[in-house]
Amino acid sequence: MDILSVIGFLLASALVVVSIMMGTDPDTGKTALIPAQFAGFIDVGSLAIVVGGTIGAMLISYPGGIFKCIPKHLKIVFMPPKYNPVKYIEQITEFAKEARINGLLALEEKMNACDDQFMKNALMLVVDSVEPEKIKAVLETELDNLDDRHSQAQGFYMKMAEFAPAFGMAGTLIGLINLLANMSDADALAANMAVALVTTFYGVIMANLIGKPIANKLKKRHEEEMLCKIIISEGVQSIQDGDNPQFIEEKLMRLLPSKTAPPGGGKDK
């Protein structure tokens, strides 16, 4: 589980709730938590405008298939798969040594132990003696498709972050219009003012505590996965070209960010 994601969400939510309840105690004159103040931030009409309006706009904007992926996206955010690029490089280096000693066909038995389906498919193309140009085209196409799918998922939540404040503003306008229409009614004046302000609050919270953080975390997860996929693609093509295992390792190590690469760029020989 990604503890930082959980802590971040709980911390932000708790601070918002505490800020809402914080006020001056009328009896002591000191700052204290006043739970009664929280009731002023609960408005069903405002919630319906922001949440209902955002969901409706999202349904218009996206096909139904992406909504089925929401549980998967949340799992990626809070319980992400582990991608260790150094481990991938070590595994590819071992495959390169095996191929150099016993030939490419020797990889068929080794690749069955791969947990990564992308690596297994790439090695299968090599074992089947597919032409290098075709292997490169197949792997690049798969990487492009992966990038497109992940970009759509990220865009889904960024679009949510755009719609929510917009509907919050719509709720504010509704509240102000009703307020101006009922200036003589003190009770209606207070109720419409609450709708006008609370709706904007809901929109801002939905955008900045749900939409944008999820989109950004999915982007980071995509970058981690994409790096490993690129390492596999480059490594497998180098194996097919018959490159020296040490050269392959050093070449792949250069793809790593400086904070990820081990000192020296590779293992000591």
pLDDT in tens, 23-55: 777 777 777 788 888 887 888 888 899 999 999
Q: Are residues 29 and 133 in the same domain?
A: no
Same domain for 85 and 16: no
| pTM as predicted | 0.83
| 102 and 11 belong to one structural domain | no
Residue of 174, 176, 169, 173 whose CA lies nearest to 200: 169
Give yes or no: residues 158 and 48 share one domain.
yes
Which residues touch 28 (CB under 8 Å, ≥6 apart)? none
The domain tally of the chain equals 2
Least confident span in 34-43, 53-62, 232-241, 248-257: 34-43
pLDDT at 261: 60
In which band, very low, low, confident or very high, does the pLDDT at 21 lie, cut at 50, 70 and 90? confident
- Token readout for 258 is 């400086």
What residues contact 95, with CB distance under 8 A and at least 6 apart? Answer: 107, 110, 111, 123, 235, 239
Whether residue 121 is found in the same domain as residue 223: yes
- Please report which residue ranges of 129-185 form alpha helices under DSSP H: 132-181
Shared domain check, 147 and 81: yes
- Over range 10-14, report the average pLDDT: 91
CB 95 within 8 A of CB 114: no
Cβ atoms of 220 and 199 closer than 8 Å: no
Does residue 223 share a domain with residue 127?
A: yes
Q: What is the dihedral of CA 118, 224, 251, 267, to 10 degrees?
A: -100
Token duo for residue 264: 């020296």
Same domain, 80 and 23: no
Is there a single domain that holds both residue 128 and residue 20?
A: no
The pLDDT confidence band at residue 268, using thresholds 50, 70 and 90, is very low
Average pLDDT over residues 209-232: 94
Print the domain residue range for 50.
Answer: 43-265
Whether 227 shows a pLDDT value over 90: the answer reads yes
Q: Give me the sign of the Cα torsion angle 199, 202, 206, 209.
A: positive
Whether residues 8 and 76 share a domain: the answer is no
Residues 149 and 23 in one domain: no
Q: Compute CA distances 135 → 98, 130, 138, whole Å.
A: 20, 7, 5
139 with 218, same domain: the answer is: yes
